[in-house]
Structure 1
Amino acid sequence: MISGEFNSKGELIFEIGLIAADGDPIIVKALLDTGFTGWLAIDNQDADSLGWIFTNQQEEMETARGDAWFNLYAGTVLLDGEELIIAVLGGEQLPNILLGVRWLEKKRLVADFMAGMLTLG
């Protein structure tokens, strides 16, 4: 189980590891976006700098800004002590790394604003 935090906007923030192609983990803060139905979304530049493999596929997704095309990468993440290879959407000018609701198929989310408790595991 990993603990998270609520930021000043009340968003759900978790620290996760992104595993570069050379095996080095990079710890980042990711925002859990319940409107995003995938596993992980990241800026294309970040996915490329990690050395993640572009699958030569694209996927169209509906976003708050309208429909957009995303590159599909195979990426490795470290979450709750597990290294997992997942499908990652890469987009242009993504200000945050996003965790999607697919994680809730594998992990239990507890968000108690009043107690200041946020966990995923």
Structure 2
Amino acid sequence: MLLRIINHFQPRWLLIAGTAYVVLLLLSHWQLPEAHVWAIAGVFSVIMNVPYVATAWHNAQFARLETAIATVLIGASIVGAVITPPFVIAAIFAHGFWDIAKHRGAGVPFFSWYTLGCAVVDFAYGSALLVYYLS
């Protein structure tokens, strides 16, 4: 019974926590030196690849595909954080499109609420970074 209650509220709590995290992340960017903005964006972009790869290896499904996509996105994130910011912006947007593809059945199966929520976060964060970069 308790587990059912926890599972019922879990997506809502994750949504609230995730939303608060992203809002605070976005607001903090305008207070930081430019180099820190891209370093944080790069780290955030690298970390967002972990759940899919870890799940793929744990379930022994689509591990090569998930690892290949994550490798490309992580590489672009690092280049963006260290050399030129448009790469990290592109990596975050690309991850959003990968989230949508996963929601439609590509790669390792994942919670639909997570993939859609992650896509929204990726597109919002990528858009904010693009505005920051262009301003």
Q: Which has the higher contact order (CA 8 A, sep 6+)?
A: 1
Structure richer in strand, relative to its length: 1
Which has more helix, going by share of residues? 2
Q: Which is higher, the Rg of structure 1 or of structure 2?
A: 2
